[in-house]
Amino acid sequence: MAAREVEDIFADILDRAKALDPANARKWFDNLTILHLDGGALGIGCPDEATVQFLCDNCKSSFNRAAQQITGHLVSVDFRIDNHKGASRHPRRLESLLKLHPDYTFENFVVGPSNRLANASCVAVSQSLGNTYNPLFLYGNSGLGKTHLLHAVCCEARQRSDGAVIQLLSCEDFVNRFIRAIEQGNLAGFQSQFRTVDMLVIDDIQFLREREQSQEEFFHTFNALYNNGKQIILSADSPPAEIPSLEARLISRFNWGLVARIDPPSYETRVAIVQKKAHLRGLTIADEVSEYIAQQVQANIRELEGALTTIYALAITTGEKIDIDLAQTALERQIKLAARHISITDITNVVTRHFDVRLGDLQSKRRNQSIATPRQICMYLARNLTKHSLEEIGGHLGGRDHTTVMHACGKIAGVKETDPQMHALLEELTEQITQTAQV
Ligand code: ADP
Ligand code: MG
């Protein structure tokens, strides 16, 4: 990972840690540096021994939590004296948008029958940009490793062909940049940013649906790159022809190269993934525990990782070692939730009753706090307790767009972290919702 990406991630972690531990932050969190971030370990450099000692004794858990929240992974934090403090060790690379997740490499990707073709085609592309499968189109349900593979290709390609200009971004980001470019009258800048690269990687391209003008722009970007033999990689949740209201000319282009499907992983692959993820975090877990997790969580790998995180969190709070009993206790609640089909209506019923507001208020344009807070809580709970997309949730709550929902979820999650009352309220509402939902 380039130095800048690591430093950006560290800056975010530091901000989050400050929010979690404001009392200590004022005195102790300045002058910290990042030493390394890899394989689930974050090394933080301190100016002196006293700081190392203090942070180890008092702030480790805030940093662990902050790192976990920002990276979405279990990260173990370690404090050491930074001998190079002051000197700029990493030259800053500012030219690219590329932000690669440190753990999303080919090495950390477990290959099985469900993802073998996708993995092999990504490896092939990374070794020779533009010369094998172009475009490469990966599709599969959420949480099956598409984003992981896209990052892995970029990581590998960057190491192999130093100097290659690579852009990796979500389709949403692409669309937003396009809109901003139009607003600022800088379309030429936007076009040169994306039409002159050696490899363009766009994640979740289904986001283009119903965005006619963005589709038009992407069509020209695609042609410019393709005609110059530049590599294009796309991912989506369905094959090209099944993306709703995608222009026919785009569908046909997406099928020009290789279309590779990723299926849900088999039991053996799930066991191997749990072991890999545990190992990456420096945890050793018994075979029976990884087998248990793989049996319980079948649908997708993000949930598999979530289960491991839940177990790890319980082990930390209780100080017990991770064994099958602890794993069962930790997952019981999660399993209970999964067995029920919670609908957005179940959520709005409970929330409107609790706050004594009407559903019509939540769906209205009103923005005063007494309405906005329950509305945001509904969004947060719907995101966490159902499988509905951001767009669907927004649709249910008065036709709000996905960015509003995303913002609400982030806001409530932040308040929950720092405000014990909000934490308790969300727990209470969740309990009521699961009780009323159908089994
Ligand atoms: P998607 O983009 O398809 O929704 P992600 O790439 O975000 O899914 O994957 C979700 C999580 O599962 C990530 O943490 C990723 O590292 C992990 N994951 C998915 N597939 C594998 C795999 N085959 N081996 C290891 N980890 C995987
Ligand atoms: Mg993804």
- What number does CATH give the domain 267-339? 1.10.8.60
Return the minimum-mean-pLDDT range out of 61-70, 178-187, 331-340, 390-399: 331-340
Please tell me the predicted confidence (pLDDT) of residue 338. 67
CA of 320 to the centre of ligand 1 (A): 28
User: Does ligand 1 have an atom closer than 6 angstroms to the CB of 205?
Assistant: no
CB-CB neighbours of 379 under 10 Å: 27
Which range, of 103-112, 199-208, 277-286, averages the lowest pLDDT? 277-286
- Whether 439 shows a pLDDT value over 70: the answer reads no
Distance 148 CA to ligand 1 centre (A): 5
Residue 435 CA to residue 204 CA, distance in Å, equals 34
Ligand 1 within 6 A of CB of 115: yes
Instruction: Among the bound ligands, name the one nearest to the CA of residue 205.
Output: 2
Work out which ligand 1 atom sits closest to the CA atom of 119.
Answer: 23
Q: Is 119 in the pocket of ligand 1 (CB under 6 A)?
A: no
CATH of 116-261, one of 3.30.70.1450, 3.40.50.300, 3.20.20.190, 1.10.8.50: 3.40.50.300
> What's residue 408's pLDDT?
93
Contacts of residue 255, defined as CB under 8 A and 6 or more positions apart, other chains included, come to: 137, 240, 241
- Read off the pLDDT of each residue in 371-390 and give the average, rounded to a whole number: 92
Tens-digit pLDDT profile for residues 65-77: 888 888 877 788 9
C-alpha 186 to ligand 2 mean position (Å):
29
Angstrom distance (rounded) from CA 76 to CA 65: 9
As a whole number, mean pLDDT of residues 367-393 equals: 92
User: What distance in angstroms lies between residue 139's CA and the mean position of ligand 2's atoms?
Assistant: 10
**Residue-level pLDDT at 67:** 87
What per-residue confidence (pLDDT) applies to 47?
A: 87
For ligand 1, is residue 301 a contact (CB within 6 Å)?
yes
CB of 273 within 6 A of ligand 1: the answer is yes
The two most distant CA atoms of the chain are separated, in Å, by: 64
| Whole-number percent of the chain with pLDDT over 70 | 95
390 against 111, higher pLDDT: 111
Say whether pLDDT at 29 is over 70.
Answer: yes
Atom of ligand 1 nearest to the CA of 265: 23
* Cα 109 to ligand 1 centroid, rounded to whole Å: 8
How many other C-beta atoms are found inside a 10 Å radius of the C-beta of residue 249?
A: 13
Distance, CA 145 to ligand 2 centroid (Å)? 7
CA of 202 to the centre of ligand 2 (A): 10
Q: How far is CA 8 from CA 13, 25, 71, 139, 414, in A?
A: 9, 19, 11, 29, 19
Q: Closest Cα to atom 9, ligand 1: which residue?
A: 145
Name the residue of 100, 108, 138, 144 whose CB sits within 8 Å of the most ligand 1 atoms, as the mutation to test its pocket: 144
Shortest-distance atom of ligand 1 to CA 301 = 12
Nearest CA to ligand 1 atom 1: 143
Q: Nearest CA to 133 among 1, 287, 255? A: 255
Q: Where in the chain is the domain with CATH 3.30.300.180?
A: 3-87
Q: Which residues contact 402 (CB under 8 A, 6 or more apart)?
A: 389, 390, 391, 394
pLDDT at 101 (0 to 100): 87
Q: What pLDDT score was predicted for residue 163?
A: 81
- Helix locations, 255-387, DSSP H: 267-280, 287-296, 301-318, 324-339, 344-355, 359-363, 369-385
138 lines ligand 1 (CB under 6 A): no
Task: Judge if the beta carbon of residue 145 lies within 6 A of ligand 1.
Answer: yes
Residue 270 has pLDDT above 60, yes or no: yes
Give the closest ligand to the alpha carbon of residue 144: 1
∠ Cα 289 292 294 (to 5°): 110
CATH number of 344-436: 1.10.1750.10
What's the rounded Cα separation, in Å, for the pair 436 and 69?
A: 30
CB atoms within 10 A of CB 306: 16
- Residue 146 beta carbon below 6 angstroms from any ligand 1 atom: yes
**Amino acid letter, 176:** N
Q: Assess whether pLDDT exceeds 50 at residue 94.
A: no
Q: Which atom of ligand 1 is closest in space to residue 109's alpha carbon?
A: 24
In the block, which residue shows the tokens 């087998």? 291
Q: List where CATH 1.10.1750.10 sits in the chain.
A: 344-436
Out of 138-142, 179-183, 222-226, 295-299, pick the least confident.
Answer: 295-299
Beta carbon of 144 within 6 Å of any ligand 1 atom? yes
Ligand 1 lined by 300 (C-beta under 6 Å): no
Which CATH class for the 3-87 domain?
Answer: alpha beta
CA 35 to chain centre: 23
Q: Ligand 1 pocket, 151 CB below 6 A?
A: no
Which run of H or of E encompasses 78?
strand 76-81
Atom of ligand 1 nearest to the CA of 150: 6
**CATH 1.10.8.60 segments of the chain:** 267-339
* Cβ(305) – ligand 1 distance below 6 Å: yes
In which band, very low, low, confident or very high, does the pLDDT at 141 lie, cut at 50, 70 and 90?
A: very high
Q: Which two tokens stand for residue 207?
A: 């986001």
Using an 8 Å Cβ cutoff, are 97 and 169 in contact?
yes
pLDDT beyond 90 at 274: yes
pTM of the model: 0.65
Q: Is the pLDDT of residue 397 over 70?
A: yes
Ligand 1 atom nearest the C-alpha of 276 is 25
Q: What percent of the chain has pLDDT over 90?
A: 56
